[in-house]
Every structure is written in structure tokens, then in C-alpha cells.
């Protein structure tokens, strides 16, 4: 399914209770770039076991790129750099309309794992 792709961007979570099968498929097909938005620690631990296979296949894998944290962190760094002074706090708001009425619950579910340990 991913053979011949230049990149695979896996955003079809939730990742909790799942295995990194899309990453495995990307590695098996020697896809040059793989990115996902995963965050559950067990998923990431399993993904890390695929490092040697990814290196052999030439796949660069970026797991846990995330939207928040992740993209929001990149935006925070960019904002702080542009402000040119010491930043103490940044507040983010998320617009969740356009999800067929499920925006609020989707945001809640996405953030439900924020109390879990973080792999560093």
C-alpha cells in the first residue's frame, strides 16, 4: 500500500493500545520518510525497537511529532524568537469546529493522555 511513496504521514490515531504497524509497513517498503503523531509510551517503546530495521531500509522515522505538544511547541519557539524578549507564558486556544460536531469531545480525548509519563 505504501510502496513507492516518498513519505508516510500517519495521523490516524488514536495510537493507545495499538502497535506501530504503519511504521513497519513504511520500513518494509523502504519509504524514505515516516512521521506520526503518536504519544502513548508503550507505542513509542515498540516503535524504538524498529530502529535497526529502519536504518537498514533507509527509512527516517519521526515518531511523536504531535500536534500538541509538537507543532504547538514549534509555534511557541517561533513566537518567543519573534518577540525578542523573555517570554514567561504562552496560552493556546484550539478551534475545533468543522469536525461534524465532535470537536469538543475530540479535543478532550486527544488530551486525555496528558497525565501519562513522557518518554525522553
Give 60-85 pLDDT, tens digit per residue.
999 988 766 666 677 778 878 888 77
User: How does residue 21 score in pLDDT terms, banded at 50, 70 and 90?
Assistant: very high
Alpha-carbon distance 44 to 119, whole Å? 8
Q: Is 56 exposed, middle or buried (0-12, 13-18, 19+ CB in 10 A)?
A: exposed
Same-domain pairing of 58 and 75: no
Q: Is residue 117 part of a domain?
A: no
Q: Is residue 48 part of a domain?
A: yes
Domain that holds residue 19: 7-62
Same-domain pairing of 52 and 99: no
The total number of structural domains in the chain stands at 2
Provide the whole-model pTM. 0.63
Alpha-carbon distance 75 to 78, whole Å? 5
Alpha-carbon distance 11 to 95, whole Å? 18
Amino acid at each position: 500500500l505504501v510502496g513507492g511513496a516518498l513519505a508516510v504521514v500517519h495521523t490516524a490515531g488514536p495510537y493507545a493500545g495499538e502497535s506501530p504497524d504503519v511504521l513497519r509497513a513504511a520500513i518494509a517498503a523502504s519509504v524514505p520518510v515516516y512521521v506520526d503523531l503518536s504519544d502513548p509510551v508503550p507505542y513509542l517503546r515498540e516503535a524504538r525497537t524498529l530502529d535497526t530495521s529502519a536504518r537498514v531500509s533507509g527509512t527516517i522515522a519521526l515518531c511523536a511529532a504531535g500536534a500538541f505538544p509538537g507543532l504547538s511547541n514549534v509555534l511557541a519557539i517561533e513566537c518567543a524568537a519573534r518577540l525578542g524578549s523573555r517570554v514567561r507564558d504562552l496560552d493556546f486556544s484550539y478551534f475545533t469546529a468543522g469536525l461534524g460536531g465532535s470537536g469538543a469531545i475530540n479535543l478532550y480525548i486527544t488530551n486525555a493522555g496528558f497525565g501519562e509519563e513522557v518518554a525522553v
